Structure 1
Amino acid sequence: MLALEFVSTILATRAGLTDTLSDVEGMTAWGRAHGAELGLPPDFTASEKLRSEVVELRQAVRALFARAVTPGPVSSADADRLPGFAESLDLVNATALAVPMAPRLEWPAEGAPRSRSVPAGEPGESPRIRATLAASAVELLAGPHREHLRACPAPRCVLYFVKEHSRQEWCSVACGNRARAARHYRQHKGQ
């Protein structure tokens, strides 16, 4: 899910919190890695203005994710630096609406026809990228996956994930192992 990958551009490493979008090079690399979903050419290069706008949107989406997982714990990455709920909701909605989308019928010579959403006009690159990201967040938060959205409770993890089965507690096997090791250490520390 693009929205989860988008909010996961803030992650915890052994060195601490890492922001994949902290500079233009990081934004360019992330944009190229998600070029197909964002409708970007292979030679896409981000500007500082685009990076700044995308980071502002990411923080708003993270604020909405924090609200969605309540009363459960939110990601500890930036919980104290997130914008307010109403402000975030307004920004995500305005961004998604900035680029009207329309269905486009594609019918390859070999295969069945399919529909793909494309911009109804010729928006600039930044509005198109941000609208795609905002629309992905809206789809996740308004759809059935929202009820399964969780913040990973593992030590030092700051990611959100969609719980895929009833026993899943962490975003990954590595986080589960880290949480179990930390619990074992706490239990046997005083003995």
Structure 2
Amino acid sequence: MTIELTWAWLEGYPSLDFANTVIRRGWTEHELVTSVADLESWLDAAALPAPRPESVTEADLQAFLPLRDAALRLLRAAAGHGSRQRADVETLNEQLISCPEVLLLGDDPGTAVSRSIGSPPPFTVLLTKLAAAVRDVLTDDRQDLALCDAPGCGQLFFQRRTNQAWCGPACGNRARVARHQTGHR
């Protein structure tokens, strides 16, 4: 099955946009980033927590996927779907350690600027910032992280209402239609 990459579902939360590069069609999950071109496309569309690297390589893609997989499993576990695995925590922490930062005073009063120690490659900085965004969601006291369980979705989202079950109206409609069709069989 071919999936068109429109990235229309991106919500502007780097941690979720990172994890949601796997999508479900029916009940089968599909990888959306299978090539350097797919990764380039996602980098163009996503809200990134660090500057976009000028270009990416196959090695960057191979670094992206395992970190994304760990982030996806950890965020799903935090949303109540699956269990938190130590190996995923270690993967995230290894990325955070690979590009340490210091927090410096900014030019304006009351501001701070984060700077990487040394001169890491831009893609390493980006992956570390994405790992930090995931860490921040996992360590924040948010209670609104959820998994859209509508057929054909499976995306993580932040609930806007306490009883919100789906990431958006289209998924709610699909879930209601599926429930209706199941009731009439």
TM-score interval for Structure 1 and Structure 2 normalised by the shorter chain: 0.7 to 0.9
Q: Secondary structure at the match of 1:62?
A: helix
Paired residues in the alignment total 172
Structure 1 equivalent of residue 31 of structure 2:
19
Q: Residue 132 of structure 1: CA displacement?
A: 0.9
Structure 1 equivalent of residue 86 of structure 2:
86
Name whichever structure is richer in helix by fraction. Answer: 1
Distance 1:21 1:105, change over 3 A: farther
TM-score normalised by structure 1 residue count: 0.78
Structure 1 equivalent of residue 95 of structure 2:
95
Q: Residue 40 of structure 1: CA displacement?
A: 2.1
Structure 2 equivalent of residue 48 of structure 1:
58
Q: Report the Cα distance in structure 1 between the residues aligned to 2:57 and 2:175, rounded to whole angstroms.
A: 39
Structure 2 equivalent of residue 6 of structure 1:
18
Contact preservation (8 Å) 2:102, 2:117 = yes
Q: Secondary structure at the match of 2:49?
A: helix
Distance 1:69 1:97, change over 3 A: same
Percent identity among equivalent residues? 24
After superposition, give the CA deviation of every residue in 1:81-134 in whole Å (9 maximum; x if it has no partner): xxx8111111101111211122344447xxx76434231321123321221111
Structure 1 equivalent of residue 117 of structure 2:
120
Instruction: Give the letter for the 1:95 counterpart.
Output: Q
The structure 1 residue matched to 2:77, chosen from 41, 63, 67, is 67
Q: Report the Cα distance in structure 2 between the residues aligned to 1:173 and 1:142, rounded to whole angstroms.
A: 29
Instruction: Give the letter for the 2:157 counterpart.
Output: F
Distance 1:35 1:66, change over 3 A: closer
Kindly report structure 1 stretches of 4+ aligned residues shifted beyond 4 Å.
104-108
Q: Report the Cα distance in structure 1 between the residues aligned to 2:48 and 2:89, rounded to whole angstroms.
A: 26
Instruction: Give the letter for the 1:156 counterpart.
Output: G
Contact preservation (8 Å) 1:11, 1:158 = yes
TM-score normalised by structure 2 residue count: 0.81
Structure 1 equivalent of residue 147 of structure 2:
151
After superposition, give the CA deviation of every residue in 1:50-97 in whole Å (9 maximum; x if it has no partner): 111110101111121232123xx45xxxx9xxxx81111111011112
Q: Report the Cα distance in structure 2 between the residues aligned to 1:114 and 1:36, rounded to whole angstroms.
A: 20
After superposition, give the CA deviation of every residue in 1:162-184 in whole Å (9 maximum; x if it has no partner): 22211211111111111111112
CA RMSD of aligned residues (A): 2.5
1:167 aligns with 2:167: no
Q: Report the Cα distance in structure 2 between the residues aligned to 1:65 and 1:121, rounded to whole angstroms.
A: 30
Structure 1 equivalent of residue 6 of structure 2:
none
Q: Secondary structure at the match of 2:72?
A: helix
Q: Residue 9 of structure 1: CA displacement?
A: 0.8
Gaps of 5+ in 2: 1-12
Q: Report the Cα distance in structure 2 between the residues aligned to 1:118 and 1:165, rounded to whole angstroms.
A: 36
Structure 1 equivalent of residue 136 of structure 2:
139
Q: Residue 35 of structure 1: CA displacement?
A: 7.0
Contact preservation (8 Å) 2:147, 2:155 = yes
The structure 1 residue matched to 2:172, chosen from 169, 176, 185, is 176
